Amino acid sequence: MTDDRSRVAFITGGARGIGRTFADALVADGHRVVLADASVPDAEIAAAELGADRALAAYCDVADEDSVRAAVDATVDRFGGIDILINNAGRHLMSWSRPVTDVTTEAWRDILDVNVLGIVNCARACRPHLRAAGDGAILSVSSVSGFTSTDVYGVTKLAVRGLTVALAKAFADDGIRVNCLAPGPMDTAAALADLPDELLTEFIENKQLIRRQGRTADLVGAMRFFCSPESSFVTGETLIVGGGFPLRV
């Protein structure tokens, strides 16, 4: 980031995968992070590795408003405020890559509660603190599936893009910018364990223009841009980081 002021980032799903990669990068830049995660042991391990003066582990079930508020309060008590909200937590395994009528209503509510309403819950709870920061930024993680898929997971990630636009408009008068990243398949442990090898290979070789496995590190530059003053004139946007898939005109 270009400014030298230490900022505070509240990262949902921050203990592992993309969230942990973002936390590592922000701490390396001199900022402080909150690993807001449903797995407290994983969050505590990550926080210890990052350093107690720079990282806080906080239990956070994004689908539960009370849990979100408690994690936000713990953040403010520890670090004094919140400058950045990164909505990274989400349901994303192959069990959700199914036709929309093949999933029970109960299962639909589960994934919507996390992938969609979880963003609303976190944005609502963080809003006053982001407003007080004066240059608050929200970054949500969607997926290339939100552009091309007609399955359950893709529909929820399409909704994340819609929320990005809606929140950008709703929070504009507060001086809070809201943007979104749409990654392709990344090299997180969970994704690599879940995605069939043949499906991943087909995606890389026949859909991507850059024919290699996406890495969480590939997202860091875009994250830094959207969370810093360098993007002070950008809001309501979704950036695809998918190796050239899908192409848009």
pLDDT given at position 179:
99
pLDDT given at position 1:
37
DSSP 60-100: --TT-HHHHHHHHHHHHHHHS--SEEEE-----SGGG-SBG
- Which tens digit of pLDDT belongs to each residue from 111-143? 999 999 999 999 999 999 999 999 999 999 999
CATH number for the domain running over 8-241: 3.40.50.720
153 is catalytic: yes
Residue in the structure block whose two tokens are 């449903």: 38
Q: Are 184 and 144 in contact (CB under 8 A)?
A: yes
Set 153, 171, 203, 226: catalytic member: 153
pLDDT given at position 149:
83
Query: Which range is least confidently modeled, 80-84, 121-125, 149-153?
Result: 149-153
pLDDT at 4 over 70: no
pLDDT given at position 19:
98
Q: What is the mean pLDDT of residues 64-93?
A: 97
